[in-house]
């Protein structure tokens, strides 16, 4: 920021750092050195998601958040208003976790008392009203996080001397607003904001990030000293635009850092298991429903599910714990594709990508938010009864047991995205066996579902424990008892 001229200092009165910075910013404004002077909704030109800043006043100078101390910035829109940005600090019960911000509205505090304690109810006016309007209008809000190590799930990539605590975390949508009693007993407005998917991850949100966020602003004489360099990672480069070659609903790209020369192992991308032997399968017997299986007590597939609906109306698992075997409606059923009991046999439903991890070889991460209990992908390969079938010496890691353990899925030669998903001692995916409109308990499909909400950019993982046979040194950084994986003999 601009060199501060101390001519105007009152003798004897020492200014706080914030006062000096605000004054410097005001001098820059008088000299027409502010950037992006017109308030706007959405991204601000010249500023990228992941850019970090040293001082709050800088946000004002560059037009990212045009308030020196208020957390909510907003602008007029017709006769109404819209929020443009918020700065989320760890104060006032604010919180950030996995792309979700909990933000306590402004007001209610006695400005003459420098404390967090509210002394009257917050009002639905100014910034609070603007945030509500943004929620109603589904208008995006810029979120700047203050990385104070207060947020749950923050990748603490910065060391203690980290000097650039403000991170532009991109655009969020206001999801809900509630009025609740704050700690002081007075009413506050609580806003929940969700990060819009398809945005680059910042090093706050992802351990193996994708952004190079070193930026310079021409008018800044106060240079960003990048002693934080360790947390910045190279921009990833797209190596393959779609490994499924159009077979999946969304292209699955392969990305690596610029200097990575590793090539993806060659294999055939499949969207259905390949049965290399003749397996005796029961004659398919689907349901006769013509009403979309609405009357589920009469639906033969629901009856097989013990009269329970395995999926809710959003086609997400009704329960993560119940039913390890799910009978879905399929080709032998009379219902249509709109039936809520047809979920996991249509390929991936979220944008996924293959990337090079630091210590586990290739891995899979999601490019969009995946709600808990959603279907993520199948684990497909060649199905056979002889586990010596594979040709690679390390094939154990690429062969999973199916059903009762007498049949195996080998993904060494043919497979889908499931073959690249790594183990974690704290996984975000869970396996379920799913049939496809038949009685077949022997040859179900292995399907992966989200065990929790998974933010965009997060690596996908499941627990290999029950499906592995050898000993593998685990690099998932969890120091639980399971930190080394015992494989089944
Ligand atoms: C099914 S593959 C997963 C994809 C694999 N990373 C690749 O590059 O093809 C299983 C192999 O990934 C590696 N792997 C998976 N999870 C791991 C973990 N938590 N720690 C270390 N290595 C892991 C091991 O080499 C294992 O043999």
pLDDT of residue 212: 26
459 alpha-carbon distance from chain centroid: 9
Distances 31 to 24, 25, 35 between C-alpha atoms, Å? 11, 10, 11
- Start and end residues for every CATH 2.30.280.10 domain found in the chain: 34-234
Q: Whose CA is nearest to atom 15 of ligand 1?
A: 422
DSSP, collapsed to helix, strand or coil, labels residue 129 as: helix
Q: In this predicted structure, what is the pLDDT of residue 477?
A: 58
pLDDT for residue 402: 74
Q: What is the ipTM of this complex?
A: 0.99
Q: Which atom of ligand 1 is nearest to the CA of 363?
A: 6
Question: How many angstroms separate the alpha carbon of residue 423 from the centre of ligand 1?
Answer: 7
Taking 50 as the pLDDT cut, the residues of the chain under it are: 2-8, 111-112, 149-162, 205-234, 390-393, 467, 469, 471, 478-489
Indicate the class that CATH gives domain 34-234: mainly beta
Biggest CA pair distance of the chain: 94
Residue 419 CB less than 6 A away from ligand 1: yes
State the Cα–Cα distance between residues 261 and 456, nearest whole angstrom: 25
Instruction: Put residue 206 in one of left, alpha, beta given phi > 0 → left and psi -120 to 50 → alpha.
Output: beta
Q: How far is the CA of 322 from the centre of ligand 1 (A)?
A: 28
Alpha-carbon distance of 371 to 452, in angstroms, equals 7
For ligand 1, atom 24, the nearest C-alpha belongs to: 360
- Spatial separation of the C-alpha atoms in residues 484 and 189, rounded to whole Å: 46
| Residue 108: count of CB within 10 angstroms of its CB | 21
Ligand 1 centroid from CA 267, angstroms:
16
224 lines ligand 1 (CB under 6 A): no
18 contacts: CB under 8 Å, gap ≥ 6:
56, 57, 68
C-alpha span between 378 and 311 (Å, rounded)? 16
What architecture does CATH give domain 237-486?
Beta Complex (2.170)
**114 HSE (CA, 13 A, CB side):** 1
- Ligand 1 midpoint to CA 294 (Å): 42
What is the pLDDT, as a whole number, of residue 101?
92
**What is the bridge-based pairing of β-strands 352-356 and 362-366?**
antiparallel
Q: How far does Cα 30 stand from its chain's mean position?
A: 41
Ligand 1 geometric centre to CA of 97 (Å): 27
Any ligand 1 atom below 6 A from CB of 474: yes
> Can you give the pLDDT at residue 117?
54
Domain with CATH 2.170.270.10 in the chain: 237-486
Distance 33 CA to ligand 1 centre (A): 52
CB of 360 sitting under 6 A from ligand 1:
yes
- The owner of tokens 């991308």 is 269
Query: Ligand 1: which atom is nearest the Cα of residue 420?
Result: 4
One-character DSSP codes across 266-330: P-EE-SS-EE-S----PPP-----SSTT-STTT-HHHHHTTT--SB-TTSSBS-SSS-SEEEE--
Q: Which atom of ligand 1 is nearest to the CA of 425?
A: 19
Is the CB of 468 inside a 6 Å radius of any atom of ligand 1? no
Ligand 1 contacts CB of residue 398 (under 6 A): yes
Query: Atom of ligand 1 at shortest distance to CA of 394?
Result: 27
Query: What is the radius of gyration, based on Cα positions, of the chain?
Result: 27
Q: What is the Å distance from ligand 1's center to 245 Cα?
A: 24
Binding site membership of 101 for ligand 1 (Cβ less than 6 Å): no
């Amino acid at each position: 920021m601009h060199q501060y001229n101390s001519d105007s200092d009152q003798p004897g009165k020492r200014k706080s750092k914030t006062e000096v910075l605000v004054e410097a910013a005001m001098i820059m404004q008088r000299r027409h050195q502010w950037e992006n002077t017109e308030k706007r909704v959405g991204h601000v030109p010249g500023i990228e998601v992941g850019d970090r800043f040293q001082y709050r006043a800088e946000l004002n100078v560059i037009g990212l958040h045009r308030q020196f101390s208020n957390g909510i910035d907003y602008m007029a829109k017709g006769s109404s208003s819209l929020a443009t940005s918020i700065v989320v600090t760890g104060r006032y019960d604010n919180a950030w976790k996995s792309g979700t911000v909990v933000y306590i509205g402004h007001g209610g505090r006695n400005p003459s008392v420098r404390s967090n304690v509210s002394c009257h109810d917050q009002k639905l006016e100014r910034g609070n009203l603007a945030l509500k309007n943004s929620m109603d209008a589904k208008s995006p809000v810029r979120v700047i996080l203050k990385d104070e190590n207060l947020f749950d799930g923050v990748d603490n990539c910065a060391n203690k001397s980290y000097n650039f605590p403000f991170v532009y975390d991109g655009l969020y949508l206001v999801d809900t607003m509630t009025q609740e009693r704050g700690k002081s007993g007075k009413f506050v407005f609580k806003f929940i904001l969700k990060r819009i998917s398809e945005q680059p991850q910042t090093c706050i949100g992802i351990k193996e990030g994708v952004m190079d966020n070193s930026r310079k602003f021409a008018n800044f004489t106060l240079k960003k000293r990048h002693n934080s360099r360790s947390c910045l990672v190279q921009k990833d480069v797209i190596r393959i635009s779609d490994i499924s070659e159009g077979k999946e609903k969304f292209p699955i790209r392969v990305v690596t850092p610029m200097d990575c020369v590793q090539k993806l192992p060659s294999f055939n991308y499949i969207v259905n298991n390949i049965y290399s032997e003749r397996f005796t399968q029961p004659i398919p017997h689907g349901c006769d429903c013509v009403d979309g299986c609405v009357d589920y007590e009469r639906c033969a597939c629901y009856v097989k599910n013990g009269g329970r609906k395995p999926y809710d109306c959003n086609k997400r698992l009704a329960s993560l714990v119940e039913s390890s075997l799910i009978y879905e409606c399929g080709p032998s059923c009379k219902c249509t594709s709109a039936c809520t009991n047809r979920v996991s046999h249509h390929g991936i439903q979220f944008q996924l990508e293959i990337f090079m991890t630091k210590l586990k070889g290739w891995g899979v991460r999601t490019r969009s938010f995946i709600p808990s209990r959603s279907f993520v992908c199948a684990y497909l390969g060649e199905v056979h009864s002889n586990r010596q079938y594979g040709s690679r010496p390390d094939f154990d890691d690429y062969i999973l047991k199916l059903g009762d353990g007498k049949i195996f899925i080998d993904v060494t030669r043919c497979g889908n995205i499931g073959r690249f998903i790594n183990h974690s001692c704290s996984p975000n995916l869970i396996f379920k066996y799913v049939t496809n409109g038949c009685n077949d308990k022997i040859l179900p499909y292995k399907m992966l579902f989200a065990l929790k909400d998974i933010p965009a950019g997060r690596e996908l993982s499941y627990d290999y424990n029950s499906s592995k046979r050898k000993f593998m040194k685990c690099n998932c950084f969890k120091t639980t008892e399971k930190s080394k994986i015992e494989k089944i003999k």
